[in-house]
Amino acid sequence: MESYLSILVGLYFAGSVFLLLSQSLIRVLIGIALLGNAVNLLIFTAGRITRGVPPIVPDGLKAASSSIANPLPQALILTAIVISFALFAFVLVLTYRAYEATGTDNTSKMRVAEPTETIRLPEGY
Amino acid sequence: MNTLILRTIVPILTSLMVIYSIIVLLSGHNQPGGGFIGGLIAASAFALYGIACGVAPVRRALYFHPISISGFGMFLAALSGFPSLYEHVPYLTGLWWFPEIAKGVEVPLSTPLIFDIGVWLVVVGSLVSIALALEEKV
Amino acid sequence: MIGFAVLTPFFAALFAPLLVYLIGHRAAWILAIVPGYLAYRLLEFTAPVARGERILQSHSWLEGFQVNYSFMIDGLSLTFAFLILGIGFFIVIYAGGYLKGHPHLGRFLATLLAFMGSMLGLVLADNLITLFVFWELTSITSFLLIGFDHERMAARRAALQALIITGLGGLVMLAGFALIGIVGGTFELSELLTKGDEIKQHGLYSLMFWLVMAGAFTKSAQVPFHSWLPNAMEAPTPVSAYLHSATMVKAGVYLLMRTYPMLGETDLWETVLPIFGGTTLIVGTVLAVRDTDMKLMLAYTTVASLGLLVMMLGVGNERAVEGAVLYLVAHSFFKGALFMVVGTVDHEAGTRQIDKLSGLRSAMPITALAAMLAALSMCGLPPFVGFLAKESIYHAVTHGGWHEGIIAGVAIIGNALMFGVAASIAIRPFTGKWVDPPKAVHEGSVMLVLGPIVLSILGLATALFVLEMMQAHFFKPMISAVAGQDVAVDLHLWGGLNPALVLSVLTVGLGLFVFVYFKKFRKAFDGILNFIGWGPDKGFDQAICVLGFVARHVTRLLQSGEMRTYMRATLFVVAITLLWPMYQFEVWPLRPQFPELRLWEAGVFGILAVGILQVIFSKTRLTAIVSLGIQGFSVALIFMMFGAPDLSFTQFMVETLSVVIIALVLTRLRLMQHDGRGPAAFLFDGLVAIGVGVGMGALLMAITEAPLDMRLSEFFSTYSAAIAHGRNIVNVILVDFRALDTLGEITVVLITGVAALALIRVRSSEKADEKTTSTMTGGSDAEGENALAGKDAS
């Protein structure tokens, strides 16, 4: 089962990287969104997969049976989902502000910090 | 979505979602759910309300600024760790009380519950803050 | 105690500014006590050193690296210490008079004292690393001194040039020291000096030699590293007088003398040193004759003198060492005095151009006398110590083979030219008929004339009255220390008629000829130098220019300013990092298992794959948003199917919210149909993407084939209900077992909220300032999804 998910995770990463390498900020953004899912799924798969049985202790028992899904990666991923979403929302606002300030969503044309003109060397000592 | 049906139905839907999110929050310790999920449900509810009826009514309904709500949640979560210090156990160790409010009915109260409410408030506050900001024509 | 004495000038430097603040330029008198007292205390070592003893003192510093704060006093270091402290004494006083009323006199004196301390530490150090530390300290303090007048660009350039040349030389020298230390097994000079044969026979001898020479030649301004020395004349005269007579530039000569028993008397040594020294001597004198600025003339003769010293050390007999030692002492006296004389003339008359000064004798009699005495010593006339030095030098080169003949010839030419320069400086400004200088001229103050007159008289007295004493206490121990063995020294002003005297007379004759036809010589040399037109000084500028050019291009290469380039580089490295070790160590997943899928599982996987592919290749906003939703919800379904209802729930909510806010932004930001990637870029990006994807997939597959440590998960499963009263294990982990982590995570959520809010607030305040209406209309066209943003409803 993990092999299937590994392939999907690979596909996820490939897609995310391809979008991250784009010049268009929107595509980069979508790449970031994909990257979050890719990593979550990676952790989930690395914690091994079991069909069904959520990690919940049944009523009346003191401990869960041994065949439940691994709860540890789930706890990691739960917060990761929320954080990556919050970060995504922030990046979204940032992108929009950058677009508004520079008038372009092409990363190659955003040159406020690193202008294209030749660096002037100091002329004296 | 600027339709009459939506505008009519969304306030009811929002209140239902918020109530549901509180249920999810409180039952989270024993069933699927908890502060993160509950917070997301409530945040979606307010975002939906904002889309249907505009941002101003949402802000009025929330009364506090969303980021203040978030900050308060943070405060609450951090605070919930302190009672354990009186018991001489590490910070954020869970403590439980089972007061009997009626004959045979125990209500479990605990510091993890307060912590989870803090988480809920942080998630709701931050996400609603961002969503409303984006809805306000960014 | 020696270690403390070395630090004393540094302590004094701390108080110099305060003292100047309190009592003005008179503070120099008090500060001069420091070198004076130190010299007095060092006197107690003269008797044991004269007996041939060696005083060692050591404090451990970095024991593990054999680095000790250790000091050695022998004939060589003692004489040097006396020169540094003695001349330093007069220089400090002179500086007080020269910079009287200058707002930064305190800073100047502090730096001067710090430099003195560095120099003292350099010559007294026994440990090579300690020596190196003081060596570089002299580079740094001299940088501050030369650049003292930092508001002028020429001064800044000169300071930087001195720092770069001498500092770099020092660093190269450090490598040489490290090699010597490794080969010799110790960093203590006192021990290394006895291991000369071992070092000379080592296979790396020539490397050690060149590395150490780099330090010595740069510090002692040998051609082609000489340009920093004349440029350092930008500094106030006290600095020039001090750095270029007794100290800074002599540090290189000191190093050569110090390492003479260790590295010297080999073929390499006796070939390289005369070549560099001889070239420097000739180039220095030619440049000196060419110039008209008296300070620069002196600077170039300093270069020449250093060349002479280096050349003599390379001759390889004891006479030559004797000559070098005598010349070094003589040079310290006469050059220090002459620099101060020129400074006084400049200070009082307002110019130091030799052509514009004449007849000053009547106005400045004492200065004129000092100049005359010093110049006579420099010319090598009896009965001055300069004459003794020259006699020894000629002695050394008159009974050898042809290469000593060449050295003798070079020495005669160089000395004759220096004779001309010295005579010109001492005679022309002070004699002849009176010419009104730019300033109303009068004799300098006590502070200004004390140094030159004492130093120039010393040059006379040494040879005439106290030769016996000087010979026994200074010259003989120093020569013996340099040669590494006991050397018999017998100095006389009159040594009978011998070849050396003949050469001396020849030198004087040629020198007089140069003096008489000085202007003709100047014109001729000027013509030659202008014809060549290039020198190391210009070369320095060119080197700096090339450095800037290279830096600019390297920067542009590494920092193109295009995010895509950075991302490509980073992700390419990620791909290589993932794939290369797997290939190298053969940890590919070996047994991928593909159990039979249930129908809905296959369906969800398929939808997810399609969703991802569609996200990548979507051309419109609508398809992008929809396919983004599809892949997100598919992930939620996967979580659901494999026992993670909490995750599934969360994922559903997050995807819903994501779609909403992306739609909100995309209504105003158009998604271009093509992302502007050419075919080559497309191919490269695709390969990188596939590389990362395959890498991550294979890595994950390999990981899941290995056994998993479940102890932590089992702990949580067992105790969740029992001690934390919670049945939902995931939630119990979040709010109880690992609550502190969660606290950190919600902090991140809060911070993103605050940050996003801040971004929006910044924008709205900008807008309020500009009072302009929004021009963002990117999303007004009808594609359906802008209806999502129908927030105008109210």
CATH number for position A27: 1.10.287
Distance in angstroms (rounded) separating the CA atoms of residues C783 and C789: 12
Distance in angstroms (rounded) separating the CA atoms of residues A69 and C644: 7
pLDDT of residue A32: 92
pLDDT in tens, C700-720: 998 888 888 888 888 888 888
> What is the torsional sign of CA B112, B113, B115, B116?
positive
Q: How confident is the model at residue B1 (pLDDT cuts 50, 70, 90)?
A: low
Look at chain B and report how many structural domains it folds into: 1
Q: How confident is the model at residue C782 (pLDDT cuts 50, 70, 90)?
A: very low
Distance in angstroms (rounded) separating the CA atoms of residues C162 and A123: 19
Q: How confident is the model at residue C360 (pLDDT cuts 50, 70, 90)?
A: confident
Distance in angstroms (rounded) separating the CA atoms of residues A75 and B32: 12
Kindly state the DSSP code that residue C188 receives in the 8-state scheme.
B
Distance in angstroms (rounded) separating the CA atoms of residues C321 and C392: 9
Look at chain A and report how many structural domains it folds into: 1
Distance in angstroms (rounded) separating the CA atoms of residues C727 and B44: 27
Give C 589-648 residues with CB within 8 A of chain A: 589, 592-595, 597, 605, 608-609, 612-613, 615-616, 624, 628, 631-632, 635, 638-639, 641-647
The answer to whether residue A118 is domain-embedded is no
Residues of chain A neighbouring C556 (CB-CB closer than 8 A): 119
Is pLDDT of C141 > 90? yes
How far from C61 is each of C40, C68, C124, C180, CA to CA, in Å?
28, 5, 16, 19
Distance in angstroms (rounded) separating the CA atoms of residues C412 and C493: 20
CB-based contact, C220 to chain A, within 8 Å: no
Q: How confident is the model at residue C692 (pLDDT cuts 50, 70, 90)?
A: very high
Give B 37-96 residues with CB within 8 A of chain C: 37, 40-41, 43-44, 47-48, 50-57, 66-67, 70-71, 73-74, 77-78, 81, 91-92, 94, 96
**Higher pLDDT pick, C773 / C599:** C599
CA-based end-to-end distance of chain C: 88
Q: Most distant CA pair in chain B: distance in Å?
A: 58
Q: Find the angle CA(C142)-CA(C145)-CA(C146) to the nearest 5 degrees.
A: 85
Is pLDDT of C159 > 50? yes
pLDDT of residue A106: 81
Distance in angstroms (rounded) separating the CA atoms of residues C140 and C162: 9
Distance in angstroms (rounded) separating the CA atoms of residues C126 and C56: 8
Q: How large is the average pLDDT for residues C113-130?
A: 94
The answer to whether residue A80 is domain-embedded is yes
Instruction: Tell me the residue range of the domain where A50 lies.
Output: 2-55+63-109
The answer to whether residue A125 is domain-embedded is no
pLDDT in tens, A23-75: 888 888 889 999 999 999 999 999 888 887 888 888 777 777 767 888 889 99
pLDDT of residue C571: 93
Find the helix or strand (DSSP H, E) in which C560 lies.
Answer: none
Q: Are A1 and C705 in contact (CB under 8 A)?
A: no
How many CA atoms does the CB half-sphere of C40 hold within 13 Å?
A: 7
Distance in angstroms (rounded) separating the CA atoms of residues C637 and C611: 13
What residues pair up with C507 in beta bridges, in sequence order? none
Q: Note whether C561 contacts A97, CB cutoff 8 Å.
A: no
Fold of C563-706: Four Helix Bundle (Hemerythrin (Met), subunit A) (1.20.120)
Q: What is the SS3 assignment for chain A?
A: CHHHHHHHHHHHHHHHHHHHCCCEHHHHHHHHHHHHHHHHHHHHHHCCCCCCCCCECCCCCCCCCCCCCCHHHHHHHHHHHHHHHHHHHHHHHHHHHHHHHHCCCEHHHCCCCCCCCCCCCCCCC
The residue length of chain A stands at 125
Collect all residues with Cβ–Cβ distance below 8 Å to C457 and sequence separation of at least 6.
Answer: C373
Distance in angstroms (rounded) separating the CA atoms of residues C115 and C240: 13
CB-based contact, A109 to chain C, within 8 Å: no
Collect all residues with Cβ–Cβ distance below 8 Å to C251 and sequence separation of at least 6.
Answer: C119, C122, C123, C135, C138, C219, C220
How many CA atoms does the CB half-sphere of C261 hold within 13 Å?
A: 18
The residue length of chain C stands at 794
pLDDT in tens, C606-647: 999 999 999 888 888 788 888 989 999 999 999 998 888 889
Is pLDDT of C172 > 60? yes
| Neighbors of chain C with 3 or more C-beta pairs under 8 Å | A, B
pLDDT in tens, A94-103: 888 888 888 8
How many CA atoms does the CB half-sphere of C756 hold within 13 Å?
A: 31
Find the helix or strand (DSSP H, E) in which C287 lies.
Answer: helix C267-290
pLDDT of residue C781: 39
Supply C252's token pair. 């290189």
pLDDT of residue C180: 92
Distance in angstroms (rounded) separating the CA atoms of residues C717 and C280: 84
Q: How confident is the model at residue C316 (pLDDT cuts 50, 70, 90)?
A: confident
Find the helix or strand (DSSP H, E) in which C457 lies.
Answer: helix C446-464
How many CA atoms does the CB half-sphere of C584 hold within 13 Å?
A: 6
Q: How large is the average pLDDT for residues C504-517?
A: 89
Residue B1 Cα to chain centre, angstroms: 26
Q: Find the angle CA(C122)-CA(C128)-CA(C129) to the nearest 5 degrees.
A: 90
Distance in angstroms (rounded) separating the CA atoms of residues A17 and C461: 85
For residue C691, what is the nearest residue in chain A, using CA coordinates?
A: A14
The answer to whether residue A121 is domain-embedded is no
Which among A56, A82, A93 is the nearest to B134, CB-wise? Answer: A93
Is pLDDT of A9 > 70? yes
Is pLDDT of C439 > 70? yes
Which of C483-497, C517-531, C741-755 is modeled with the greatest confidence? Answer: C741-755
Q: How confident is the model at residue C726 (pLDDT cuts 50, 70, 90)?
A: confident
Domain ranges of chain C: 285-516, 563-706
Listed range (A111-125, C223-237, C430-444, C504-518) with the worst mean pLDDT: A111-125
Instruction: Tell me the residue range of the domain where B37 lies.
Output: 4-135
pLDDT of residue C672: 67
Give B 2-41 residues with CB within 8 A of chain C: 2, 7, 28-37, 40-41
Listed range (B78-87, B100-109, C244-253, C677-686) with the worst mean pLDDT: B100-109
Q: How large is the average pLDDT for residues C693-698?
A: 93
Q: How confident is the model at residue C793 (pLDDT cuts 50, 70, 90)?
A: very low
Is pLDDT of C790 > 50? no
pLDDT of residue A42: 94
Q: Most distant CA pair in chain A: distance in Å?
A: 83
Is pLDDT of C513 > 80? yes
Is pLDDT of C563 > 90? no
Report the amino acid identity of residue C328: L
How many CA atoms does the CB half-sphere of C60 hold within 13 Å?
A: 5
pLDDT of residue B138: 47
